[in-house]
């Protein structure tokens, strides 16, 4: 009679209950590599709620369970969940160590005017289990509010705990292990889609869950399915009674009002699958799912990126960016030539690619030089994206497609306006070249320290501080005019000055004599500042009788021989005074005339 009235009350509960408030089951943590898991735990209930006596209203405050990992199974993480009827108990003891909840979950339902509260709590207890290892674990001081009479009347009184232990084992295949948690009522259906899979082998694939308040004797369409296939785990978990107080890892059947179950799903997924759909259903029994764990042999890389350093030279639109590509938390290598794109305020400014294949848990550091459009100044967002070809297209299937980006705020200063100062002049020493002392212009600028002044031949070099003119006191140029940039550092950035180097044709210096006797000294009519400077000049030499005896140009110097007139042509002329006419063919200079004494 009791069971019939209990079933009636539960049906009434489902018909008249308001919508439950809870937290949807969502991905909490993901492990990629040679990982697997086990779960232990125990109930605080003395028997399940569907029993025919009143003992089920007596709930313990502690219970224990043993952990027995095999050699070589090293604990990577351990998550403690505890739950019960009523308001949340935010701390418990684990082997005498106080554990505070870092996450809590709550849900409630109402029958008529009565509201029923349920809670679950979470704490990361990795350090405790890594220290204590294989032993008995006792959770104590789990306190529920009193009285529980109304909860007992409706058969929804429960308490218990479980630890999900993720371990690394070199003998395991490369798996993707996902831990999902929340607190979600099953009636009528929970559906979770697993994306970004790359199933290469279904060996060892499994799904497990932690659920509260399931009764083995109250089962109506209690099922766990994957990809539409109903799962069972006989003899513990029949296909139509998924929530029946069992622990699949230990074979226990007396976990009253809780389930720690795991199912083999090797034959329910296929090699090449990229997603899977998991569903849990219960049409009558009030079941609260607290966590779901999936283990799938899915081998994929997982590219992530960090901007390590940005060299932003003052007032330059050139950024030198150091960055690192990682393949952490992955189950496959990241291929070489994976694209990397860089954006400023969502405008593409540069692309590159990885150079090498990056192994699991490996990384590669690289550098790129980016030129920012001159129209973009001020505070800007630098965005770097790995596995992006510059058009938002991906070329690599990854475990997580949403962790490829890193951002950094950079500040691009406006380039200082150059001030023009006095030009420097120097005489042409041949073919439009000359030597200048650039420091002559220091008197025309304001500076506090000579070491803060530097000289460059292009604005690009100024901004990047490259190719500095090392010896400004003796700088040779071969073209005119040439612009020189003078950079003067200041507290904010730098001041910029420009001036031009102008090479002039200075007046030639004409000697009054020479001696063409082949002694290697003064053997020709050496007009200094003429040859290779006034390149279009013409030199005429006359004897004292006014006869033209020599005609020369830039390529024909006078060594005392006649090349005009007969019979003296091609002969050395005698000692004496000769007269010259020099046509410089330069609009700044007149024709020059004079005499020169030739002494043999």
Query: Looking at residue 111, what is its pLDDT?
Result: 65
**What's the longest Cα–Cα distance across the chain?**
155
CA distance 179 to 299: 18
Interior/surface letters 155-168, b for 16+ CB within 10 angstroms, e for the rest? bbbbbbbbbbbbbb
Are the folds of 304-412 and 419-504 the same? Answer: yes
Residues 46-89 pLDDT 10s: 888 766 555 567 889 999 999 999 999 999 999 999 999 999 99
Query: Dihedral sign, CA of 10, 15, 17, 21?
Result: positive
Task: Write the DSSP string, 18-75.
Answer: PPPB-EEEEEEEEEEESEEEEEEEEESBSS-TT-SSSGGG-B-S-EEEE--PPTT-EE
Query: Looking at residue 36, what is its pLDDT?
Result: 96
The domain limits of the chain are 2-296, 304-412, 419-504, 509-600
CA distance 473 to 468: 13
Query: Looking at residue 17, what is its pLDDT?
Result: 39
Architecture label for domain 419-504: Sandwich (2.60)
CA distance 566 to 121: 122
Reported pTM: 0.64
- In eight-state DSSP terms, residue 14 is H
CA distance 395 to 399: 13
Are the beta carbons of 262 and 207 closer than 8 angstroms?
A: yes
Are the beta carbons of 368 and 388 closer than 8 angstroms?
A: no
Query: Looking at residue 2, what is its pLDDT?
Result: 34
**What is the CATH superfamily name and number for domain 304-412?**
Immunoglobulins (2.60.40.10)
CATH 2.60.40 correct for 509-600: yes
Query: Looking at residue 149, what is its pLDDT?
Result: 82
| CA distances for 159 relative to 57, 142, 148, 275, 578, angstroms | 11, 8, 12, 35, 127
Query: Looking at residue 233, what is its pLDDT?
Result: 85
For 271-338, strand residue ranges (E) read 276-281, 288-296, 304-312, 318-326
Residues 245-284 pLDDT 10s: 899 999 999 999 999 999 988 878 888 787 888 888 876 6
Are the beta carbons of 184 and 24 closer than 8 angstroms?
A: yes
Low-confidence ranges of the chain (pLDDT < 50): 1-20
């Amino acid at each position: 009679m009791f069971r019939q009235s209990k079933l009636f009350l539960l049906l009434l509960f489902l018909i008249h209950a308001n919508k439950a408030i809870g937290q949807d089951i969502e991905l909490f943590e993901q492990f990629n590599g040679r990982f697997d898991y086990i779960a232990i735990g125990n109930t605080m209930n003395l028997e399940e709620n569907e029993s025919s006596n009143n003992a089920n209203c007596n709930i313990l405050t502690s219970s224990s369970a043993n952990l027995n990992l095999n050699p070589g199974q090293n604990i990577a993480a351990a998550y403690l969940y505890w739950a019960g009827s009523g308001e949340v108990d935010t701390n418990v003891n684990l082997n005498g160590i106080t554990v505070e909840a870092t996450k809590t979950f709550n849900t409630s339902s109402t029958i008529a005017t009565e509201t029923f509260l349920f809670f679950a709590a979470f704490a990361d207890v990795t350090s405790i289990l890594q220290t204590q290892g294989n032993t008995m674990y006792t959770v104590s001081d789990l306190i529920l509010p009193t009285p529980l009479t109304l909860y007992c009347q409706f058969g929804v009184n429960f308490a218990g705990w479980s630890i999900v232990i993720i371990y690394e084992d070199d003998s395991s295949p490369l798996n993707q292990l996902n831990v999902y948690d929340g607190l979600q009522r099953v009636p009528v259906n929970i559906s979770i889609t697993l994306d970004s899979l790359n199933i290469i082998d279904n060996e060892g694939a499994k799904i497990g869950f932690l659920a509260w308040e399931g009764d083995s004797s109250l089962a109506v369409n209690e099922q766990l399915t994957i990809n539409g296939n109903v799962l069972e785990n006989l003899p513990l978990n029949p296909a139509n009674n998924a929530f029946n107080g069992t622990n699949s890892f230990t074979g226990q059947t007396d976990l009253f009002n809780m389930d720690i179950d795991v199912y083999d799903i090797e034959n329910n997924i296929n090699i090449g699958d990229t997603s899977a759909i998991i569903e849990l259903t219960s049409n009558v029994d009030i079941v609260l799912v607290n966590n779901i764990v999936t283990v799938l042999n899915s081998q994929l890389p997982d590219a992530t990126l960090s901007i390590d350093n940005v060299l932003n030279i003052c007032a330059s639109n050139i950024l030198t960016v150091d960055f690192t590509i990682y393949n952490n938390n992955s189950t496959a290598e990241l291929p070489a030539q994976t694209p990397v794109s860089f954006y400023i305020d969502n405008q593409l400014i540069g692309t590159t690619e990885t150079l090498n294949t990056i192994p699991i848990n490996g990384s590669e550091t690289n550098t790129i030089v980016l030129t920012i459009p001159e129209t973009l100044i001020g505070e800007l967002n630098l965005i770097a994206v790995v596995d992006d070809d510059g058009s938002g297209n991906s070329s690599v299937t990854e475990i997580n497609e949403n962790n490829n980006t890193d951002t950094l705020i950079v500040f691009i200063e406006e380039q200082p306006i150059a001030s023009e100062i006095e030009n420097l002049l120097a005489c042409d020493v041949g073919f439009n070249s000359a030597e200048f002392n650039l420091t002559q212009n220091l008197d025309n600028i304001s500076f506090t320290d000579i070491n803060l002044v530097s000289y460059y031949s292009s604005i690009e070099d100024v901004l990047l501080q490259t190719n500095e003119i090392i010896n400004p006191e003796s700088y040779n140029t071969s073209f005119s005019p040439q612009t020189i940039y003078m950079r003067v550092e200041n507290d904010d950035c730098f001041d910029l000055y420009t001036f031009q180097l102008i090479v002039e044709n200075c007046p030639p210096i004409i000697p009054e004599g020479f001696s063409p006797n082949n002694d290697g000294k003064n053997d020709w009519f050496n007009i200094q500042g003429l040859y290779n400077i006034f390149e279009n000049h013409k030199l005429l030499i006359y004897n004292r009788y006014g006869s033209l005896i020599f005609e020369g140009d830039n390529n024909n110097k006078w060594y005392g021989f006649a090349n005009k007139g007969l019979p003296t042509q091609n002969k050395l002329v005698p000692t004496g005074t000769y007269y010259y006419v020099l046509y410089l063919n330069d609009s700044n200079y007149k024709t020059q005339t004079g005499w020169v004494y030739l002494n043999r």
